[in-house]
Each structure stands twice: as C-alpha cells, then as structure tokens.
Amino acid sequence: MKDLPVIQAAPPGEAVTKGGALQIDTMVRDPERSAALMPEIVKALSRVFDPEIPVNIYDLGLIYDIVVDASSAVGITMTLTAPACPAAQFLPEQVRAAAAAVPGVAGVVVDVVWDPPWDRDRMSDVAKLQLGMF
C-alpha cells in the first residue's frame, strides 16, 4: 500500500486552504474525477472494519461524505459509533490509508465529525443482515 501524505495544498481555484491544509468543507467536488475514483474508494473503504462490530465501516454508515476534487484530492467526512470509541485512535488513519492506496488518488484528508450522531438507521441493509437485525 502506498503511503501518500495528507494534501497540503490544492491547485489554484480547486479548493480554499486554511493554514496550508486542505479543508474538506471548501473542496470543490469534480463530477468527472468522482465518477472515475469513487467506485474504487468505496471498495477500499469497504475493507476497513470497526474492530468491535464485524461489519465494514462503509456499510456500517460511518462514512458521511466523500469528496473528490479536480486534482484527485479526496476528502472524507466520517464519524464513529460513539465519541468514546476506542477505535478513534486508529480508525481515521486506516480510512485515510485505504483511500490513499487507490490508484489515481493524489492525497486524502479525513474529518471526524459528531453531528449528526451515528445511529443504527445509518447502516445499510447488508450490514443489518450481517448483524441479524432484519
């Protein structure tokens, strides 16, 4: 797996930066780059698992948004199942590394948010089936 750094800047006009670091909320979604990279990014994130729940984080509903800009920088907004989740120490880095390993991705920034809070309704039907919730 390649080790890409977090994007420190974007080409002019692609995204506004603050302090030299890419800000997810100012990234400009590019439909063409999104179409090219999103299927592989989702596939990569589907191989990352919450250590306490035997379901991948994508189907678990922990990924709230994925933005791909024209420079192929990726911004991921995610949450955890609870603020005190022990996975908070390493899960965001696993998400960053998984997305960064996708060929064509220029860099990744991950933002962990708590609003809206995660609940079971965010889980996909696949995850609910895996956990016997149907």
Find the CATH number of the domain harbouring 102. Answer: 3.30.300.130
Identify the pLDDT of residue 16. 36
Lowest-confidence segment of 6-15, 40-49, 125-134 by average pLDDT: 6-15
Position 10 in a domain? no
Position 6 in a domain? no
pLDDT tops 60 at residue 20: no
How far is residue 74's CA from residue 67's CA, in Å, rounded to a whole number?
6
Identify the pLDDT of residue 51. 85
| E-only strand ranges, 28-81 | 63-68, 73-78
What backbone phi and psi angles, to 5 degrees, belong to 32? -70, -45
| Tens-place pLDDT, residues 47-90 | 999 888 889 999 999 999 999 999 999 999 999 998 888 888 89
Identify the pLDDT of residue 21. 59
Number of domain units in the chain = 1
Position 25 in a domain? yes
Identify the pLDDT of residue 22. 67
Which has the closest alpha carbon to 17: 73, 66, 65?
A: 73
Identify the pLDDT of residue 67. 97
Position 123 in a domain? no
Domain that holds residue 47: 15-117
How far is residue 11's CA from residue 69's CA, in Å, rounded to a whole number?
10
Name the range with the highest mean pLDDT among 4-13, 31-40, 86-95: 31-40
